[in-house]
Structure 1
Amino acid sequence: MHTQTPLSTHSPAEPGTRTFRPDVIPTDYLFQGNQEILISHKGEHYRLRITKNGKLILTK
């Protein structure tokens, strides 16, 4: 029988520790209260933003 690892825990964590799977990053952790972030990839910059409808848009 296989049990799934929860995506996050509800217990308080120490500052600086993640409480989610390393391959799943929640947007609230990634954006930290902002509506957009800049991502650098191979010398190029990309803008990831949350729309008014809660969708994600990635632009170069």
Structure 2
Amino acid sequence: MQENLEQQILMLNNSIKELNIELLLWQDKRQMEATLTRMTPEERTAVVSRGEAYHPEMTTDDLDSIL
């Protein structure tokens, strides 16, 4: 019984950690979108070409749709 509860607690902790990571990625993506929309086309091109606007879930199509 105790071992089962400990296993369930570990699984819940891992799930919470994964959700926190997802939340951070989502917040980072939204912040990048907000930043890109305030830039001029030249500034956006420079930032994207330097790789500073990269996000694992963000594609070129995503960047185009933001602009």
User: Relative contact order (alpha carbons < 8 A, sep ≥ 6): 1 or 2 greater?
Assistant: 2
Larger radius of gyration: 2
Identify the structure with the greater strand proportion: 1
Q: Common fold, TM-score beyond 0.5?
A: no
TM-score (norm 1): 0.28
TM-score (norm 2): 0.27
Identify the structure with the greater helix proportion: 2
